[in-house]
Amino acid sequence: MTTSRVTTPFHSHATTHEVIDGVDLSGRRAVVTGGASGIGVETVLALAGAGAEVTVAVRDTAAAEALRADWAGKSARGEIPVEEVDLADLRSVEAFGKRWDGPLDILVANAGVMAIPTRQVTEEGWELQLATNFLGHFALATQLHANLAASGSARLVVVSSGAHRTAPFDFEDPQFEKRPYDRWAAYGQSKTADVLLAVGARRWAGDGITANALNPGWISTNLQRHVDDETMRAMGAIDANGEIIRTSYYKTPEEGAATSVLLAASPLVEGVTGRYFEDNQEAGVVTDADERPGGVAAHAVDPEAADRLWDLASAALR
């Protein structure tokens, strides 16, 4: 396994086409959750364009079906199947896993929700952002573990966010039952959990499965649907007229998807596992007191926290 910090020749605004150029994924099978919008679409198109057999796993199959004709025209294999999976419903996740037959080479845990205004919980009592962004993907990965292992060289790619730096995982009150609900703290915690998922999956290295998390960067997508214009203006994301402010760090969806595609397909990260990437490079570890942008928080790559969260999530699936 690679132990030194990984660097690549790709810059922060490289596109999916650049990072996957020359990569042949013929014969490889992939699942991309949330593949019908935002960076998910670009991830699907890049992998399919390189020859992979890609399945789009989404809650809203109608939205995905509307894109299938366009996808087929850009896929090296033509047709791209669509399957239903609701990550906030563990029965739906289990059903998807049982339907999957044969090896799985790439699982991109891309779907997510952000900044839900009020506290909502699933049937299992999990706060909805944590349930969707983390637990549903944890359940999907564990449900498909045997299929990933059958590949012999499978990759799990977990889309996190720079927001993970704002909130360590609160093992004492992860569901906001005691502390006041804060939509941004809940989102940040869920994204810390996503990084910890990749770290915890180091236990699968012996099965030929690698897992890495990433920050796609700042992209305007449907992920912001719960964020009002006033908040977006305060964040410096839009101007007084509601137009996107294209700062130097702003990315297009294709640029935002590049790191996902790099981790899913590039030979440059073969054998790398349990890491966190941003701007197509492995990020350095930073402390909670560090105010510089970027980097991965020490609390998100703590192996003891990762194992503790793995046990907590496993108990929820029983």
- The 275-278 sheet, strands edge to edge: 82-84, 53-58, 29-33, 106-109, 154-159, 209-215, 275-278, 281-282
Q: How many CA atoms lie within 13 A of 249 on its CB side?
A: 11
Tell me, what DSSP letter sits at residue 284?
Answer: P
Cα-based angle 213, 267, 100 (whole degrees, multiple of 5): 65
| Strands 275-278 and 250-251, sheet pairing | unpaired
Is 187 known to be catalytic? yes
- Other CB atoms within 10 A of residue 74 CB: 13
Beta bridge partners of 53: 29
Give the integer Cα–Cα distance in Å for 244 and 54: 31
187, 249, 250, 276: which is the annotated catalytic residue?
Answer: 187
Give the integer Cα–Cα distance in Å for 286 and 195: 14
Contacts for 129 with CB less than 8 Å, ≥ 6 apart: 113, 114, 116, 183, 186, 187, 189, 190
- Residues tagged active-site: 187
